[in-house]
Amino acid sequence: MMNTQEEKMTNQTNDRKTGVTFKPITELQTEHMLDLLEKRNLPFLPDENGFCDTRAVRNALTGYEFTGINQILAKAYLHEKGLDGHNILTFDQANKCGAGIKKDAKAFLLSFQDMDKRDENGKAKVVINHYFADSHVKRPEKLPSLWKISIYTKDSIEPRFSNPSKYLGGYLLSIHYGIGFTPPSELAAEFSQKFKEALQASPSNLFKIGRDAHRWMKEDVSQTAERAERAAPTHSASSSFSR
């Protein structure tokens, strides 16, 4: 069970000694996504009832809701393992709160840009964290009781575009609002083919599509808020909302 920084550094040392080359995280995650896509075992593809799982993945300790490509990757991992609706946390977080991680539990990877750390070209450094499902902890009673977000299945978003970024943007929007995501089977099939072709063209496309999907989702949320504000009765602005 690899998770600690010390173990990561040990592996890096062994790489230099043996000359073994490991694939970048982008390639590993893209290959895994392609495999799940081939098996149609992804949470954003409709099940036999036409629904997708839209329960948000959050940090089991802090309650932070993952966004963009990391929400999509975390959902894909949990869905593959039959753990839809679970939250995740790191090995260190589990130990610090006294929950611990079961001996045979397996982690999955998520990467983040650390905006406070830059390389010589000024580019934000990438930090890779190992995450476990909350069901992998030894003492679940040590975890905080997070408010469970209900999915309103009577309301749903039906995507109109098979473009991967817009399709996944609609999926992220459904997660954000806690409502259903019901793509027509033909459109889902078109999306799958386009998504597959994009991932096969370049591993970096997975993260580009994720960024574009997140941007599309945020724009829709912003536009919805503006429409709601215009429709609301006129009221005095609060100083707390000043820019």
pLDDT tens figures, 59-87? 999 999 999 999 999 999 999 999 999 99
**CA–CA separation, 94 and 101 (whole Å):** 6
SS3 content of the chain, % helix, strand, coil (to 5): 45, 15, 35
Rounded to 5 degrees, what are φ and ψ at 148?
Answer: -80, 125
pLDDT of residue 30: 96
Does 129 score more than 70 pLDDT? yes
pLDDT of residue 235: 41
Does 209 score more than 80 pLDDT? yes
5: pLDDT confidence band, cut at 50, 70 and 90?
Answer: very low
pLDDT digits (tens, 9 = 90+) for 139-194: 999 999 887 766 666 789 999 999 999 999 999 999 999 999 999 999 999 999 99
Does 226 score more than 90 pLDDT? no
Both tokens of 42, joined, read 């992804």
67: left (phi over 0), alpha (psi -120 to 50) or beta: beta
